[in-house]
Structures are given as structure tokens and as C-alpha cells.
Structure 1
Amino acid sequence: MTSFGDLLGPPPTLLTGDDDAESELLNGAAPATVAAGSPTASIAWAHLAEAALEGVDAAAAGAGDVPPEVIAAYAYARTGYHRGLDQLRRHGWKGYGPVPWDHQQNQGFLRCVGALAKSAKFIGEEDEYLRCLDLLNDCDPKAAAEVGLV
């Protein structure tokens, strides 16, 4: 049985993460430095995307006054998302099935999906926002709340 109670579904995918990148971030290294040194580490891209979105006026961005930070966040999140997909596939994920939030090494990918959703919504890309929200809900029903989308 999977962690979400589906007897027929695939087992949860548990990423191994990037211990060096995670340690550097925990010890206060600049996320851009970590991303440059460990470009496959989704967690570094998540930090960059979330930092870019901090302080963005959601009302102004949603009304078409999109600050450059939103575009940067979109790019950072998209990079981390794709790097996370590569890792998930290497761990046997077939595009569906649980990717539990509670497994800390999965959080970089899931946070990137959340930041991608937020930045997509800011630039009016509603289809991408909804696709990201669906992906988060498919990966782990509590992930959207964990990344601040609900």
C-alpha cells in the first residue's frame, strides 16, 4: 500500500537529495553560489525562486505590473522543476504516483513546483498554474498547503 492508501498505485518516490547542497544552504551559503556549484539540486533553485517572490505585490503583479523578480522566480522554479523531474525519473517515477512532502529530500522539487505555480499565476499563465497545482496534489495532497498555495 502506498502512503496515500492506494493499494494498486506505485510506491512513493523518495529522492536521495544533494547532501552537500543542503548542508551549504543550512550553513548560510548564498543560494546562487549553491545552485552554480550544484545545478542539479532543486533545493537551491527553490531557495532562489522563493527569495525572488518575497515581497512581490501580488495584486500589482496579477494586474499586469509584473516586476522582474517574478520572471526571475519563474526561471529559477522552472529550472529546479526540470532538475527535479530528472531526479524523479532516475528514481523510477513514471510521471505519476506519490512524492511525499514528509520526505525532506523531495521538498526541493515540490517547492519548485509551488514557486512555478505562484509565478505563473502572477504572469497570467493560468493553465500552468493549474497544471502545477494538480501536480502538487497528485504528488502529495498536503504539498500545496505546505508551499503556501492553499
Structure 2
Amino acid sequence: MSEQPIQLSAGRLPETVIDTYEENAVVALSEALSAPEGERKALVARVAAMWPRYLDAWVALGQLSTETIERYAYFRVGYHRGLDTLRASGWKGSGYVRWIHESNRGFLRALLGLARSAQAIGETDEAERCAEFLGQLDPSGVPETE
């Protein structure tokens, strides 16, 4: 259960902040992403296998994949693992999950990657739902750096 309280204000939606990830997972992913290009994806896959709830690892696998359907699959796993993580953090199915919080970015990147890869495989309705959901989670929009 999250140590972070859900932010409530009169008349406003709650805001959820995902707890920060285990430091060992963060270090392992950083090291995997720093490995030579030919080894990188396999090392990131090991990180995802060791810490399957670490959303950034699923996002990295999606970003490292060259096959569109593989990217879609990794982002979809990250998105669904992220929904579980959000619920464990107190999210009740509505409210803000903003980009300004580093710990939320794994989920938001998974959702963004899912939107883009769904569009790439012709799943336009799914891509639109994902884009709409991103806008609801953070009305300030996706940062330009993403």
C-alpha cells in the first residue's frame, strides 16, 4: 500500500503519485541501458524479469524493440502492470497522474507508447482511447521531451 496520501481538495479530482521504485531496480536498469547496444535489450529483459512491477523496464523494452508488434506488447504489459501499481497507490479509477512526478512517468510512458504502437498497427480506436486517457490523467499534456 502506498505511503503517499491521495491528494483531495474541495471540488477537485484526487491526484495519485506512484511510490518510487526500489533503488536496486533503478541502478540495474541504468546499467543495462548503458551496456553496449548488442547486449542492451537482453539485459533490460533481465531487469524486467527480476522486477516485473518496475514499469520503466517494460517501457525500455518497448523503446528498444524494432518490431512494431513487439513494441506494442511490451508497452501493453507496462500499461497493465501500471494500472495495478496505480491501484496499489490508492488510485480509484479517476483523478490525476501527472508527468511532473518522476515516479509516475513509467506508467505514463507505457500508456503513451501503447497509444503510438496501437496507431502503428492500425488499432486506431485503442490509440484514441489511450490518448484520451493521457489527457484525463494530466490535462497539461505530454511533455515535448516525450
Structure 1 length normalisation: TM-score?
Answer: 0.78
Aligned residue in 2 for 1:8: 11
Q: Is the 8 A contact 2:15 2:96 kept in 1?
A: yes
The answer for the alignment partner of 1:114 in structure 2 is 112
Aligned residues: 130
Give the C-alpha shift of residue 31 in structure 1: 1.6
Partners of 2:141 and 2:64 lie apart in 1 by 19
Q: In the alignment, residue 25 of structure 1 is paired with which amino acid?
A: L
Per the TM alignment, residue 100 of structure 1 is displaced from its structure 2 partner at its CA by 1.1
Give the equivalent residue in structure 2 for 1:57.
none
**Cα pair distance change 1:142/1:23, threshold 3 Å:** farther
Contact conserved, 1:17 with 1:105, CA < 8 A, in 2? yes
- Please give the alpha-carbon distance, in whole angstroms, between the structure 1 residues aligned to 2:126 and 2:145: 16
**CA–CA distance in 2 between the matches of 1:33 and 1:142?**
34
Query: Equivalents in 2 of 1:131, 1:22: separation in Å?
Result: 30
Q: 1:80 aligns with which of 78, 86, 99?
A: 78
Q: Do 2:99 and 2:142's aligned partners in 1 also have CA atoms closer than 8 Å?
A: no
Q: 1:36 — aligned with what?
A: 49
**Runs (5+) with no aligned partner, structure 1:** 54-68
Helix, strand or coil: the match of 1:124? coil
Q: Secondary structure at the match of 1:27?
A: helix
Higher mean alpha-carbon deviation, 105-114 vs 15-24, is at 15-24
Question: Post-superposition shift, 1:132?
Answer: 0.6
1:99: Cα distance to partner? Answer: 0.4
Correspondence for 2:37: none
Name stretches of at least 5 consecutive residues in structure 2 with no aligned partner: 1-5, 34-42
Q: Give the letter for the 1:18 counterpart.
A: Y
Residue 40 of structure 1: how far off its partner (Å): 1.0
1: CA distance, partners of 2:30 / 2:61:
14
Greater strand fraction, Structure 1 or Structure 2: 2
Q: Which residue of 2 aligns with 1:140?
A: 138
Match of 2:123 among 122, 125, 134: 125
Give the distance between the partners of 1:73 and 1:28, measured in 2 at CA. Answer: 18
1:45 to 42, 58, 70: 58
* SS of 2:92 mapped into structure 1: coil
- 2:26 corresponds to which letter in structure 1? E
RMSD: 2.1
Q: TM-score, normalised by structure 2?
A: 0.79
